[in-house]
Structure 1
Amino acid sequence: MEQQTQSDSTLPSRSYRGVLAVQIIALVLLVGAGLLGQFALFLEVPLCIAAMVAFTVFWPFRGTWIDRLLGVLAGLVSFVFAFNALGSGVLYPPLRVTGKLAVAASPLIRWACVYVMLLALFTVIGFARQMARKERTNLLRSLSQSLTGVVAMASMPGWLFISVVASTRPFGGPRFWAADAVCVVALALVVLMVIASRFWLKDFDPDPAVPAPWIGIALLPVMLLGLVSFAATLALLLCQFGVAG
């Protein structure tokens, strides 16, 4: 038993290079695809789907199949509404918007509303599941891990909105400096999330039946950074249309 525990405790440190490699490859592909203008979605869509499938297969948390199912459901709904927001928008109520900023930002605002409702819904479901357990040991850990999986899956489609960045070209005067500030903050958040994954790798407690759960840990910050992609895109739109006229 002691040998097995010692072996398990050394596994995360041996896998960190692999974690970093997975993260760098995923981020380069996602950011690079987002800069292809009108062709961005052709690559962003399969990349997001592949990441969500891999995260489900290499689930980095302890839990039942229901936890994975809830994560998949949250990710699927979030993805469909994000993709639709960038396309026809038929899943959303009609809005009368005026002004360049309102028109450009309306797809992001619509998806943001869906995202918030998803988090509220799955938080209620998570609490209800935990309260229904006969033995409520490790309740907080089970709830937090289940919700983290849901949040990660629901956040991944935020990467789709980076395709909007190709149409934002703020330059000159305050627009230039504001856009630079957005990029610096986004890059700092990316670095912080990658660094945080090193500590997550040391502390995570995966299901022994899951193959290579460190891949799930590697993808976790990448998926959460979907929110950063969304926020950076919205901020760049504000720079383009809302700063200095």
Structure 2
Amino acid sequence: MTDALTMETRRSERGIAGLLIVQAVAYVLLISLSVFVGLGIVPIEAVVVAALAVVVVFLVCWPLRGTMVDRIISLVTAVLSVAMATTILGEITMYPVVSAQEAMRNITKAILYPYGRWAAAFVILLVVLTIVGFARQMAREHRTHLVRALSHSLTSGVVSASVAGWVFLPDLMVYVQSGSQKVNIALTIVIGVGLILGIAMAAASCLWWKEADPDPLMPAPWVGFALIPVLLFGLVSYGMSLTMLIIFGW
């Protein structure tokens, strides 16, 4: 009863406005840095650091039920996901490597390579998360709240892995500066779809928060909950850039 009253008090204190403000701040940070990277003002590492910082805040203000092990696994997953998107570590996915000669002949194929590599890495991470999650739950002596524990663990891992998609958003700046009417129309549609998805996820998070049951001992779980759509938007960012690249090349 005390836990329930505590959560209701926190919801009434923060409200939906608090969730939306946190999301807005995170979006402004990541989108601004992506634009600066696309313009060559700052290196891609700026987006990487900001994205991982958002993951850390999400895990510190964890809005789910679970243990410290769940959060550590999610952090490791996020780091691996970002590393596989931005470094040579992604080549362990066995995704066909583009040789230097191929890259010289077909720049679009070379640019597409990191996208395919990360997609393969993302699937592998999901499989590993599922296997590890089931194994951990089966190893428990007392399997109380089994479904909740497994679903929350997998949710945290998937959300954390998705953040790596943000590193692909700067590629959109190539098309912003193209000057082509066809490209501008397509870019407007792609950004419009992304905006709709972002708004839909924000609206869904407001509804989900009313039914959420985070650990009352966690500091500001509403902040962590607000960041879930922002982290998942990494998949949307990836899809937006990949769509433009497939249609128009580089």
Q: TM-score, normalised by structure 1?
A: 0.88
Trace 1:222-237 onto structure 2 (pairs within 5 A): 222-237=230-245
Structure 2 CA distance, aligned partners of 1:62 and 1:199? 18
1:3-51 residue CA offsets vs partner (Å, 9 max, x unmatched): 6634422422432222111100110111121112232524312211210
Counterpart of 2:57 (choices 24, 34, 54) is 54
Find the counterpart in structure 2 of residue 164 from structure 1: 171
Find the counterpart in structure 1 of residue 22 from structure 2: 22
Counterpart of 2:69 (choices 33, 49, 66) is 66
| Equivalent pair of 1:33/1:40 in contact (CA under 8 Å) | no
Q: Which deviates more, 135-144 or 36-45?
A: 36-45
Structure 1 CA distance, aligned partners of 2:82 and 2:106? 27
Query: SS in structure 2 opposite 1:211?
Result: coil
Query: SS in structure 1 opposite 2:69?
Result: helix
1:123-160 residue CA offsets vs partner (Å, 9 max, x unmatched): 11111112222332322211111001001111112111
Find the counterpart in structure 2 of residue 178 from structure 1: 186
Question: What's the offset of the Cα at 1:165?
Answer: 1.6
Query: SS in structure 1 opposite 2:130?
Result: helix
Counterpart of 1:136 (choices 133, 139, 143) is 143
Structure 2 unaligned residues grouped into runs of 5+: none
Structure 2 CA distance, aligned partners of 1:95 and 1:68? 35
Structure 1 unaligned residues grouped into runs of 5+: none
Q: Displaced runs of 4+ in structure 1, greater than 6 A?
A: none
1:158-187 residue CA offsets vs partner (Å, 9 max, x unmatched): 111112222234554543332222111111
Question: What's the offset of the Cα at 1:235?
Answer: 0.8
The Cα RMSD (Å) is: 2.0
1:199-220 residue CA offsets vs partner (Å, 9 max, x unmatched): 1211111112211111100111
Structure 2 CA distance, aligned partners of 1:184 and 1:55? 27
The sequence identity of aligned pairs, in percent, is 37
Question: What's the offset of the Cα at 1:57?
Answer: 0.8
1:126 equivalenced with 2:133 (yes/no):
yes
Find the counterpart in structure 1 of residue 220 from structure 2: 212
* Matched letter for residue 47 of structure 1: A
Q: Which deviates more, 53-62 or 100-109?
A: 100-109
1:82 equivalenced with 2:90 (yes/no):
no
Q: Which deviates more, 40-49 or 189-198?
A: 40-49
- Are the structure 2 counterparts of residues 226 and 11 from structure 1 closer, same or farther at C-alpha, using a change threshold of 3 Å? same
| Equivalent pair of 2:34/2:47 in contact (CA under 8 Å) | yes
Q: TM-score, normalised by structure 2?
A: 0.87
